[in-house]
Amino acid sequence: MFTSTHPSLEDIVALAKRRGFVFPTSEIYGGLANSYDYGPLGAELLRNIRNEWWKQFIHKRRDMVGLDSQIMLHPETWVASGHVGSFSDPLVEDKVTAKRYRADHLIEAWLKEQKLESNEVQVENMRIEEMGEFIATKNITSPDGNPVTEPRSFNLLFETAIGSVAGEKSKVYLRGETAQGIFSNFKQILDSTRVQLPFGVGQIGKSFRNEITTGQFVFRTLEFEQAEIEYFFNPAQSDWKELFEDWKKSMWSFVTEILGIQAENLRWRQHTDKERSHYSKDTYDLDYNFSFGWKELWGIAYRTDYDLKQHINHSGKSLEYTDPYTGEKFVPHVIEPAVGVNRMFLMVLSDAYFYDAERQRTVLRLKPNLAPYKVAIFPLVKNKPEIVAKAEEVYQLCAVVAPTVWDDRGNIGKRYLSQDEIGTPACITIDYQTLEDNTVTWRDRDTTEQVRVAISDLAQRIRM
Ligand code: ATP
């Protein structure tokens, strides 16, 4: 039915701005690098993604609880987690313009240009010195064609200061991931709830990274939202491989069934031994085929007992679990599925975007559960008070069931096109016939078919 082409990033950015999904942050001041605001429709879409994640992974599972920890934690947290020491990207500077780039990204771009297969040279396996050597021997330059400096480690944590003691300010960090709040609350969660292993803790919240790379829209931003899970278990009782596989299945079905993403645009990628963090036994990325290539959407790692042990060592507190049946005390192991809400947002927009050449329209084929508005209400004309009043009645009836939007501008055909572009699954027109028999025209976004529906059946239809 649809003639579809993979949309370019420009298509997505243009639609997102034109229709109020995503705006450049502080645009009136010239913008702020790698920062975006979510407009009226973007705020709804983000919320829907976030709520679906929470529903599927926290509410529907009896082995999961939620958490909402602070953005600023005790600074020792980030020493224990390893972020202060080694949470960094390899940075190079253009020797002429002083613009900064990630060394690995320059190498990747060069490989692409040379049409070299990525398995011939694996950037993710390179140490920082190896990247420097590679850049030097291949004469890789900046995108402006200038030589670049030797790569150096650039820490991604944002620093700020709190001033609760007069005359002094002490350094704190904006969190680089939400996960550490889960580990540092582990004991309090055990003490305050009735959870038993295996169980998981999930949270959604803002994280901050001083990213150097620009131009990837909301894929990579300074401030972003993460949805992270730490799933704790006893390695003597649960087989980590089974748990790991179960989580991979849950991630896949969330993306394909709940978010409606086409399976052909998804793939698993296992991290190589060199690429994987030293404490991780296994790591996979669930990649999406973005318009700028296959990129990580969602990571899953078996992190053993590394994080809890680090916090035990740095805090001096016991973070052990006591088996309620045997009395055995031990530090649980953990599997971490971690995803960015904004990356899911970009994936959803990219995957739903269709240009329907036959009907000359752009359609966002969003799953109805994600659509910012489930239904649009159109009074056929503006100047007939009876029609407007009836439409208002229908609006109120629908709005209590699902997010509803009102549109009385222009002809009905234009209004349809406008709703198609933002993914509204159905449009309802109130016309002269409505005044006689209490039926409305219901028009379907995907098929464009129109049927007459009784007002009394609308609530039921919208719920579906
Ligand atoms: P990348 O390699 O793309 O920088 P990462 O491996 O550092 O990502 P993680 O630390 O595993 O990412 O974070 C978990 C998830 O958070 C990622 O899978 C991604 O969806 C999201 N994420 C990470 N950094 C950003 C960012 N700067 N902007 C938006 N989302 C991000």
Q: Is 14 a domain residue?
A: yes
Same-domain pairing of 167 and 53: yes
Give the residue ranges of DSSP H helices in 138-262.
179-184, 186-192, 240-253
- Please state, rounded to an integer, the average pLDDT across all residues of the chain: 94
Q: Residue 449: is its pLDDT beyond 50?
A: yes
Same-domain pairing of 136 and 220: no
Same-domain pairing of 289 and 149: no
Note the pLDDT of residue 163.
Answer: 83
Domain's final residue, options 133, 155, 177: 155
For residues 223-245, average pLDDT: 98
Q: Is 421 a domain residue?
A: yes
Confidence class for position 464, pLDDT limits 50, 70, 90: low
Note the pLDDT of residue 118.
Answer: 59
Q: Which residues contact 141 (CB under 8 A, 6 or more apart)?
A: 147, 148
* Number of domains within the chain: 3
- Yes or no: say if 266 and 252 are a contact pair by the CB < 8 Å rule: yes
Q: Which amino acid is at 236?
A: A
Global pTM value? 0.94
Task: In whole angstroms, give the CA distance from residue 360 to residue 248.
Answer: 39
In a mutational test of the pocket of ligand 1, which residue from 270, 343, 345, 347 has the highest number of ligand atoms less than 8 Å from its CB?
343
pLDDT digits (tens, 9 = 90+) for 276-322: 888 899 999 999 999 999 999 999 999 999 999 999 999 999 999 99
For residues 382-397, average pLDDT: 97
- Yes or no: say if 260 and 367 are a contact pair by the CB < 8 Å rule: yes
Half-sphere exposure of 19 (CA within 13 A, CB side): 25
Note the pLDDT of residue 213.
Answer: 83
- Yes or no: say if 398 and 460 are a contact pair by the CB < 8 Å rule: no
Residue 213's nearest CA partner among 409, 33, 6 is 33
Ligand 1 atom 18 nearest Cα:
298
Domain holding 399: CATH number?
Answer: 3.40.50.800
In a mutational test of the pocket of ligand 1, which residue from 226, 259, 266, 336 has the highest number of ligand atoms less than 8 Å from its CB?
226
What is the CA angle 219-37-223, rounded to 5?
Answer: 55
How far does the centroid of ligand 1 lie from the alpha carbon of residue 340, in Å? 6
Same-domain pairing of 196 and 229: yes
Q: Which amino acid is at 252?
A: W
Same-domain pairing of 82 and 170: yes
Note the pLDDT of residue 1.
Answer: 44
pLDDT digits (tens, 9 = 90+) for 112-121: 888 776 567 8
Ligand 1 atom 31 nearest Cα:
340
Same-domain pairing of 297 and 420: no
CA torsion angle for 125, 338, 71, 276 (degrees, to 10)?
-20
pLDDT digits (tens, 9 = 90+) for 327-368: 999 999 999 999 999 999 999 999 999 999 999 999 999 999
How far does the centroid of ligand 1 lie from the alpha carbon of residue 418, in Å? 33
Confidence class for position 175, pLDDT limits 50, 70, 90: very high
Note the pLDDT of residue 121.
Answer: 80
Q: End-to-end CA distance of the chain, in Å?
A: 23
| Number of the ligand 1 atom closest to the C-alpha atom of 298 | 18
Same-domain pairing of 250 and 117: no
Task: In whole angstroms, give the CA distance from residue 293 to residue 288.
Answer: 8
The single residue listed with the structure tokens 């916090």 is 311
- Yes or no: say if 353 and 290 are a contact pair by the CB < 8 Å rule: no
How far does the centroid of ligand 1 lie from the alpha carbon of residue 410, in Å? 43
| Number of the ligand 1 atom closest to the C-alpha atom of 176 | 10
Same-domain pairing of 333 and 205: yes
> How many helices and strands (H and E) does the chain possess?
15, 23
Note the pLDDT of residue 279.
Answer: 85
Q: Is 363 a domain residue?
A: no
How far does the centroid of ligand 1 lie from the alpha carbon of residue 233, in Å? 25
Indicate the helix (H) or strand (E) that contains 64: strand 64-66
What are 363's two structure tokens? 């359609």
Domain's final residue, options 100, 121, 155: 155
pLDDT digits (tens, 9 = 90+) for 73-111: 999 999 999 999 989 999 999 999 999 999 999 999 999
Q: Is 268 a domain residue?
A: yes
Confidence class for position 3, pLDDT limits 50, 70, 90: very low
Same-domain pairing of 340 and 386: no
Which residue segment(s) compose the domain that 308 sits in? 2-87+157-352
Confidence class for position 5, pLDDT limits 50, 70, 90: low
How far does the centroid of ligand 1 lie from the alpha carbon of residue 300, in Å? 12
Q: Is 360 a domain residue?
A: no
Note the pLDDT of residue 274.
Answer: 84
Q: Is 274 a domain residue?
A: yes
Specify the higher pLDDT residue, 258 or 166.
258
Please provide residue 338's backbone torsions phi and psi, each rounded to the nearest 5 degrees: -130, 125
Same-domain pairing of 171 and 132: no
- Yes or no: say if 302 and 240 are a contact pair by the CB < 8 Å rule: yes
Ligand 1, pocket residues at CB < 6 Å: 177, 209, 211, 220-221, 224, 226, 296-299, 338-340, 342-343
Domain holding 97: CATH number?
Answer: 3.30.40.230
Q: Residue 167: is its pLDDT beyond 70?
A: no
Q: Is 235 a domain residue?
A: yes
Same-domain pairing of 75 and 103: no
How far does the centroid of ligand 1 lie from the alpha carbon of residue 213, in Å? 13
Note the pLDDT of residue 114.
Answer: 86
Q: Is 359 a domain residue?
A: no
Confidence class for position 394, pLDDT limits 50, 70, 90: very high
How far does the centroid of ligand 1 lie from the alpha carbon of residue 56, in Å? 21
